[in-house]
């Protein structure tokens, strides 16, 4: 499979011989070189922005899997104005376009590099947002503590229902414990 991302993805697919593309539909195509000779035939899928992994226009070209034919398709796409992505660039684009948070983008790299089932499962959980949700919960807990402390300082003379010092300390200790567990889990993979 060959994946194109960016504003010219559909135009490049059309120049290869893809028919008029409908979003998220599989289209049979005879993919051709500059002389019109068939390189390969296969399936073309189009995902218009922002409804794609990267948040950009994305086209997937699915051929027979021959390395020789794939290299010919890559060369033809480059001749039409594409370039090969850097390692991790699709995840980077997804992050920059708000499709992934940083923990999820890093989880993709971890998933690709996973050397065993345990590492793959941990990366999958991070990609699913488990790690991010745990971080968000600690942040929310700290923000609530801050609100109570600021209210107690700003309105010291008012009869407000704020947390006492012992409750604030317990909340901070809980946040410290939660962060230590997050760090431990992140180091384990």
User: What does pLDDT average to in each consecutive run of 10 residues of the chain (189 residues)?
Assistant: 96 96 96 97 97 97 95 98 94 95 88 88 83 89 89 74 78 92 78
Give pTM, 2 decimals: 0.70
Distance, in Å, from the CA atom of 2 to the CA atom of 28, rounded to the nearest integer, reads: 15
Contact assessment for residue 127 and residue 138, using Cβ atoms and an 8 Å cutoff: no
Q: Which domains does the chain have, with CATH numbers?
A: 2-94 (3.30.1360.120), 102-188 (1.20.120.430)
Q: Which residues is 2 bridged to in the sheet? A: 61
């Amino acid at each position: 499979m060959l994946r194109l991302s960016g504003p010219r993805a559909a135009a490049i697919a059309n120049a290869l011989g893809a028919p008029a593309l409908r979003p998220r539909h599989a289209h049979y195509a005879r993919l051709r070189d500059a002389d019109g000779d068939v390189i390969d035939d296969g399936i073309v899928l189009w995902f218009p922005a922002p409804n794609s992994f990267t948040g950009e226009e994305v086209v997937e070209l699915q051929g027979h899997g021959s390395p020789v034919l794939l290299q010919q398709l890559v060369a033809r796409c480059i001749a039409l104005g594409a370039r090969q992505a850097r390692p991790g660039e699709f995840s980077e684009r997804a992050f920059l376009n708000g499709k992934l948070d940083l923990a999820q983008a890093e989880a993709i790299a971890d998933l690709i590099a996973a050397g065993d089932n345990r590492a793959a499962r941990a990366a999958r959980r991070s990609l699913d947002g488990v790690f991010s949700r745990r971080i968000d919960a600690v942040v929310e807990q700290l923000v609530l503590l801050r609100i109570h402390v600021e209210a107690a300082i700003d309105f010291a003379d008012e009869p407000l229902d704020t947390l006492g010092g012992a409750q604030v300390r317990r909340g901070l200790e809980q946040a410290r414990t939660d962060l230590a567990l997050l760090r431990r889990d992140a180091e384990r993979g």
